[in-house]
Amino acid sequence: MSIFRRLRRKGRDSEKPRDERIPSSSSESISSSTSTSPPSFSPKPEGRLFASTAELRVDREETMVLAKEMKIRDHTTAEIVPGKLLKRDAQGRIHIKIVFYGPSLSGKTTALRWLFGNVRSLSKGRLVEIADDLGRTTFFDFVPITASEKIVFDVFTTPGQRRHARSRISVLRDADGIIFMADSRPEMMNENLASLEELQIALGTDRYSNMPIVIALNKRDLPNALPVEYMVRMLDVESYPIFTTIATEGKNLLRMFQRVLRDALIFKVGI
């Protein structure tokens, strides 16, 4: 069964209660930090030890100016009516844009490469990568994915480094769905928060509230990965679909990808 046909069926994830989508094992729970065995990192993840708003360093005014330059505005009435305003190519195919967003080295490009190389049910175009000498994305990774003869998903990743704010925000223009990839390492929590705040500012309240967004908590295989419930609370993303991922192994990437594609289809096309 093709991924497109599977997307048209209601996935089991969307039907599960919230607490079933977040692992409840002791290793993935905030309660594990209070057990008799000390965590593999210090200090314990309580309160805002790993996140200080003073360290986020997101220039709100500059971000808003960049978003305005990239013509990222509130949804028009036509945009929020499914099937009313669609992007079509010369062949009449509908294009839906999905963007991986998140801090530098959080696993965005790794996830896209895994999906490109391992999901055989998708008809894929050419993977375009622009990277620096360290292998980091300096503008974007892009791959068109054909889910049917009539629908094409254009999938992008964005550069996570702070100096690439302009190119990162430019990729957000006309996005129809977002995968926010957070890094589970304790030392990266401030970067996660800064990236998420930048995303919120760049999209604006309207688009951030209405656009399909899924959250990937990546690098769950690391011994010092922060507890899932702690990350969800710190990022304030309780209302979004949460997926615990290991991009290098492909763990949960397909389920995460199916969810955002399905939500984007419903939001844009109404199917």
List, for residues 33-69, the tens digit of each pLDDT value: 333 333 334 344 444 445 554 556 788 999 999 999 9
CB 201 within 8 A of CB 63: yes
153 pLDDT more than 50:
yes
The CA distance from 209 to 52, in Å, is: 24
142 confidence band (pLDDT: 50, 70, 90)? low
Taken in order 16, 226, 189, 103, the sign of the CA dihedral is negative
226 pLDDT more than 60:
yes
Fill in the amino acid letter for 268. Answer: K
The pLDDT of 122-141, averaged and rounded, is 49
pTM of the model: 0.75
CB 232 within 8 A of CB 238: yes
Cα 235 to Cα 9, 154, 165, 200, 206: the distances in Å are 30, 27, 20, 12, 19
Residue 182 per-residue DSSP state: E
pLDDT given for residue 12 in this prediction: 41
All domains in the chain, ordered by first residue: 58-268 (3.40.50.300)
CA proximity to 116, closest of 125, 107, 104: 125
CA proximity to 179, closest of 86, 265, 107, 82: 107
How does strand 213-218 pair with strand 123-124? unpaired
Largest CA distance in the chain: 63
125 confidence band (pLDDT: 50, 70, 90)? low
The CA distance from 169 to 162, in Å, is: 11
